[in-house]
A and B are shown apart, each in its own frame.
Chain A
Amino acid sequence: MTDAPAIAASLATAHESQARRVLKRFVHHHLALVGGCVVLALCLAALFAPAIAPHDPIRLDTSFRFLAPFQNPAYLLGTDELGRDTLSRLLYGGRISLTVGLVAMATTVLTGAVIGIVSGYLGGWVDTVLMRFVDTMLCFPQVFLLLVVAAFVPPTLLSISLIIGLTSWMEVARIVRSEILHLKQQDFVQAARALGAGGGRIMFRELLPNTMAPILVAATLKVAGAVLMESYISYLGYGVQPPLASWGNMLTNAQGYFDTVPWLAILPGVMITCTVMGFNFLGDGLRDALDPRLRMEG
């Protein structure tokens, strides 16, 4: 009889944890949905920037400097110190930032996936050498690597994207490698070999498609990271160069007027935050959706 309350209590906690898990997944699911919508909106805005933007983003109009948002219907989000339209600059800046984010992500994923697969599948000394290399790269903070390279390479959109991509693939390589270590023990790899598939085919035709889920998740999160990195190095002056707008260099420009016209800093800051959070939520949601253990739990 004394057991009854204990059982009831444990049942209650079981219920509670169940409910909490459901709630968590529900919330996650919604955040992912919100993230997806934000990402979609940002991408559309960037894609159609020339059609949407009310002004040329680099056209100066010194008669309208430092307009506050909603002060003048022609300059909906105000103007900056040179009288350039902030809304147009945000839209075009988004183009630049997202392009850098996507190209950097592609670089990261390609490099990371290839190194991870080769390392995991071949094993032995190849694995040792590659993983040492990964460890070495991870020793340095990414910003440090970025700034060192950026100091020597002239900043163009492509070079910035590649630099960001090539300094952030290590995590992807590790994820892919551990997936491959697990996958290559599976019977289907042996079966493929028994049918005459060579190493390259097994790595890239048989194993790679099996790692798509974690790669997709990592890719989404990497876009967020790359957008942030671009802002960071642009802010430090090594990134996208004026007059081209990027959210990062808009922040830099706003620096001098922060106490008088804070919206010049706040607006690009909000855009960066939205982008990073949007991609992060989307990535987390994808992880949950694609995780086979969660899926099996149904």
Chain B
Amino acid sequence: MTGTAVARGAITGSGEPAQAAAGEPLLRVEDLQVRFRTAAGILPAVDGVGFELRSGETLGLVGESGSGKTVTSLALLRLLESPPAEIRAGRVLLEGRDLFTLGEREMADVRGRDASMIFQEPMTSLNPVLSVGYQIAEPLVRHLGMSQAAARARTVELLEQVGIPNPARAAADYPHRLSGGMRQRVMIALAIACKPKVLVADEPTTALDVTIQAQILALLVDLQQALGMSMLLITHDLAVIAETAHRVAVMYAGRIVEIAPVEAIFGAPRHPYTKGLLRSIPRIERTRESMLPEIPGTVPSLAALPPGCAFVDRCPRALERCRTDRPELAAMGHGHRASCWNPADA
């Protein structure tokens, strides 16, 4: 029960975010389905994912490796390469505009201006042969039509804003001269340069040292509040979620199995998978790829998902019908939804 204790502690640390986030939906994802055509067959990597992101809100997206978090986030900005990826169905509405119906040009205008993304690997996400300043100024010129001089001045401001010491010098530097933490700060500066409404951060701290992780996370939260952005924060780390997210979506085998305000997820999880995840918190922090010892068994192969609930073979509360009928996300009160035929008591 150490897991619950950790979770409780974390919640008291993040008092009232759920209320603060009660804005109108800014981003709405409906029934997103992504498949990969591979030699091994067709993999339904994302199967019917839907959620809302309100303005100013942070939605945490958690789940084991391979559950489809990255694919979901890339699909939002239409960054998946197809083939092999194929978006089968779904809509992504950003302020009511369906991104899937936009032309390639219009979509490029959305990326970086209305919605930006930060990736996991700061070491390789910057162009090695272009100066930091050039890389940041580029979207400013392109999206906001700034002059070169104005963009250069703004670049230095941005570098300062993300906490880079001696920003004027850093702007002239090339990425290989910066540490991983500094590069991630540069990536963040790039992502927020045009003041996007939505920021998607795919494990922004996983590749960094533990001490740096906390700083980067604090920076993200600060910037989010300062700019009033909405954030989709993808992570393995439930402690991170507890500290930063207003609401949490839990993914398993390409589906969202539970979505609820952060207090509800940590205080009264309904899905047995979420309960298992919470019990394994300390271990998750330490080893990234490890299986969850609190949940016996392994994630089923996407190529051979059971017809019913994908979690059935590992579930301590499984019923007969779990094998045959797939549970849909069902409301469980107070913005809490879970897909389970036999949910745990609140």
Contacts and interface: CB of A to CB of B under 8 A. Distances in A.
Interface string B129-157: 11000000011001100000000000000
B139 A196 contact: yes
Taking each of B79, B111, B127, B143, which has the highest tally of chain A beta carbons within 10 Å of its own beta carbon? B127
A198 B126 contact: no
A210 B127 contact: yes
Contact of B108 (A187, A191, A198, A209): A198
A151 B142 CA distance: 48
A206 B190 CA distance: 15
A197 interface: yes
Taking each of A192, A197, A205, which has the highest tally of chain B beta carbons within 10 Å of its own beta carbon? A192
B247 interface: no
Nearest to B117: A194
B36 to A, nearest CB: 16
B112 interface: yes
B187 interface: yes
Given A196-B139, A196-B142, A196-B143, A191 B111 contact: no
Interface in B94-146: 104-105, 108-113, 116-117, 119, 121, 124-130, 138-139, 142-143
Contacts of B121: 187
Interface string A190-202: 1111111110010
Contacts of A195: 111-112, 116-117, 138-139, 190-191
A196 B110 contact: yes
A40 interface: no
A143 to B, nearest CB: 37
Interface string A165-203: 000000000000000000000111011111111100100
B77 interface: yes
Contacts of B112: 194-197
Contact of A209 (B113, B124, B130, B139): B130
Interface residues of B, number: 28
A193 B79 CA distance: 7
Contact of A188 (B111, B113, B125, B142): B125
Given A193-B111, A195-B111, A196-B111, A210 B116 contact: no
A212 interface: yes
Contacts of B119: 187, 190-191, 194
B106 to A, nearest CB: 11
Contacts of B77: 194
B125 A187 contact: yes
A191 B188 CA distance: 11
A190 B116 CA distance: 12
Contacts of A209: 127, 129-130
Nearest to B127: A188
A191 B120 CA distance: 11
Taking each of A191, A193, A197, A205, which has the highest tally of chain B beta carbons within 10 Å of its own beta carbon? A191
A289 to B, nearest CB: 16
Contact of A194 (B116, B124, B127, B142): B116
A201 B143 CA distance: 13
Given A190-B79, A190-B119, A197 B129 contact: no
A196 B130 contact: no
Nearest to A195: B112
A196 B124 contact: no
B116 A191 contact: no
Contacts of A210: 127-129
Contacts of A197: 108, 112, 138-139, 142
B139 A188 contact: no
A249 to B, nearest CB: 43
A188 B128 contact: yes
A80 B193 CA distance: 69
Contacts of B109: 196
A205 B130 CA distance: 9
Contacts of B116: 194-195
A186 B129 CA distance: 13
Contacts of A212: 129
Contacts of B128: 188, 210
Given A193-B79, A194-B116, A196-B110, A188 B124 contact: yes
Contacts of A194: 77, 79, 111-112, 116-117, 119
A191 B128 CA distance: 13
Contacts of B105: 198
Nearest to B123: A187
B124 A187 contact: yes
A129 to B, nearest CB: 18
A192 B130 CA distance: 12
A188 B111 CA distance: 15
A26 to B, nearest CB: 27
Interface string B59-102: 00000000000000000010100000000000000000000000
21 contacts: A188-B126, A188-B127, A190-B125, A191-B117, A191-B119, A192-B127, A193-B79, A194-B77, A194-B79, A194-B112, A194-B119, A195-B111, A195-B117, A195-B139, A195-B190, A196-B112, A197-B112, A197-B142, A198-B105, A206-B127, A210-B129
Given A194-B116, A196-B109, A201-B142, 19 more contacts: A187-B119, A188-B126, A188-B127, A188-B128, A191-B125, A191-B187, A193-B111, A194-B79, A194-B117, A195-B116, A196-B139, A197-B108, A197-B138, A197-B142, A206-B127, A206-B130, A209-B129, A210-B128, A210-B129
Q: Which 10 A-B pairs have the closest CB atoms?
A: A196-B112, A195-B112, A196-B111, A194-B117, A187-B124, A191-B125, A187-B125, A209-B129, A188-B127, A196-B108
